[in-house]
Amino acid sequence: KQEVTQIPAALSVPEGENLVLNCSFTDSAIYNLQWFRQDPGKGLTSLLLIQSSQREQTSGRLNASLDKSSGRSTLYIAASQPGDSATYLCAVTGGSSNTGKLIFGQGTTLQVKP
């Protein structure tokens, strides 16, 4: 059974810092990994999608890496801003008997202080 874990559960940093969010999964037979952002009371916004054959994806100040063999992904945020404050969720598809559903971690809540 695929399980996804995110560490830390919460993070508070001063504005301008570079930071790394961690995601690990137990079954390396994934199809893809997706990072989402969730603002309080809102739905999920897709940030980056990494296919299983890829090692990383970049969008603006965000860079996500994937190491399938070790079951790990990291989301790197450069030069953090107060507007980056949100909960970040990683999710995977794939693994035995998976039909394309996303299996989520519990999220990392980020606070960027001005």
Partner 1 sequence: EAGVAQSPRYKIIEKRQSVAFWCNPISGHATLYWYQQILGQGPKLLIQFQNNGVVDDSQLPKDRFSAERLKGVDSTLKIQPAKLEDSAVYLCASTLGGRTYNEQFFGPGTRLTVL
Positions touching partner 1 (CB under 8 A) are: 4, 31-32, 34, 36, 41-46, 49, 51, 89, 91, 93-94, 98-102, 104-107
Whether cis (ω within 30° of 0) applies to the bond prior to 8 is yes
Q: Work out whether strand 10-14 and strand 19-25 pair parallel, antiparallel, or are unpaired.
A: unpaired
Of 21, 27, 38, the C-alpha closest to 1 is: 27
- Rounded to a whole number of angstroms, the minimum distance from the CB of residue 67 to partner 1 is 19
- Rounded to a whole number of angstroms, the minimum distance from the CB of residue 76 to partner 1 is 20
Which CB atom, from 65 or from 93, has the smaller least distance to partner 1?
A: 93
